[in-house]
Structure formats: structure tokens, C-alpha cells
Amino acid sequence: MSPATITSQLKEKFPEAILDITEFADEKILHIKSQHILLVLTALKSAGYNFLADLTAIDNLTLGGFERFAVSYHLLCHETAERLTVKAYVSEEKPTLPSVESLWKTADWQEREVFDLYGIIFEEHPNLTRIMNPDDYEGYPLRKDYPRLGRKERDDFPVVNRGIRKKKPLE
């Protein structure tokens, strides 16, 4: 089933879930409300989108949009090689989504990465712990309001030369 067909069927079946359907680079993008993500992705898996190729997040702080954050699910149907992107919009006040690890095991570490770097909580995830930063690390470094140079967490990091490496002069 083509992405155009499946997205129009989903719009008919779940009209309260769909915010918009757009296209970029010949790929359909389904924009949905966060509370419907599990329902919509379950329907897409049943329709043949059997592989979660990627799961990441976008901070819309300066971009505008439906909500502050969007979690982007990049799906693939192995049978037809069709791709579809689903974006679930998450509020800044309550940055939570249900985990899709029960649908695709590949979501396990991808959800942990988004949690660690953006602070989005995936409810019912089997092991939602930090994956890149220390457990006691405060903040979410990929949020746009995180200081560009960090919060000086690594000032005591043992680096020999903090400046630009200078080449030795030719002798």
C-alpha cells in the first residue's frame, strides 16, 4: 500500500489524531497528536511498515510548530521499500510519549538516546536510563535552550591541550 493511500486511510480512521499530512523529498510525513502515537504506529505496522529505521527528536523552540518538541519516527515497508515519516508533537510542560519498544525492538536504544539528550520520557519503556551522559548529569544538551558551550561540566576534564593544536615548525 502506498504512503498516500495509507495516510488518507489513517486520516479517515483517526481524524482526531492527525494534525497534518505533508511531503518533503518525495516522502510523506504524517503529523499527529502525541497521545495517539501508539494507536497510529500500531496501525502502520499492521499495514506493512515493519521496520523502524530511526527515531529521533526535534526541538522546535525557534522554529514554531504544533508543540515544542517533535519525535520523528522513520518507517520502512520491506515488501514495497516505501518509507513514511511520522512526527508526534510533545509539549514542553509534559514531554512524554508512550514507548513503541513493544512494536519495534529497535526503539529501545533510540528512545533512550532521545530521553538522554532531549528529556522526553517514554512511558512503559523497559529500561529508560541515560545512554550517553552520566546518570547524575543535569540537563538535556540537544535542547535549543541549553547553553552552546555547556554549563562548564567538563572544566575539570583532563585534557592536555585545550587550544588549537599548533604544528611544529619545520626544521
Distance CA 68, CA 90 (A): 7
Give 16: exposed, middle or buried? Use CB within 10 Å, 0-12, 13-18, 19+.
Answer: exposed
What's the pLDDT score for residue 171? 57
Please return the burial class of 50, using the count of CB atoms within 10 Å of its CB with bins 0-12, 13-18 and 19+: middle
Calculate the CA dihedral of residues 37, 60, 151, 139 and round it to 10 degrees: -20
**44-54 confidence digits (pLDDT tens):** 999 999 999 99
How is the chain split into domains, by residue range? 3-94
| Cβ 69 vs Cβ 92: under 8 Å | yes
Radius of gyration of the CA atoms of the chain, in A? 20
Sign (positive/negative) of CA torsion 114, 117, 122, 124? positive
**pLDDT over 90 percentage in the chain:** 74
pLDDT at 104 over 70: yes
Q: Does domain 3-94 have CATH number 3.20.80.10?
A: no
Q: Letter for the amino acid at 71?
A: V
pTM assigned to the model = 0.86
Place of cell 544538551: 141
pLDDT value for 29: 96
Is 95:107 a contact under the CB 8 Å cutoff? Answer: no
Distance CA(41)–CA(52), nearest Å, equals: 10
pLDDT, average across residues 79-106 = 96
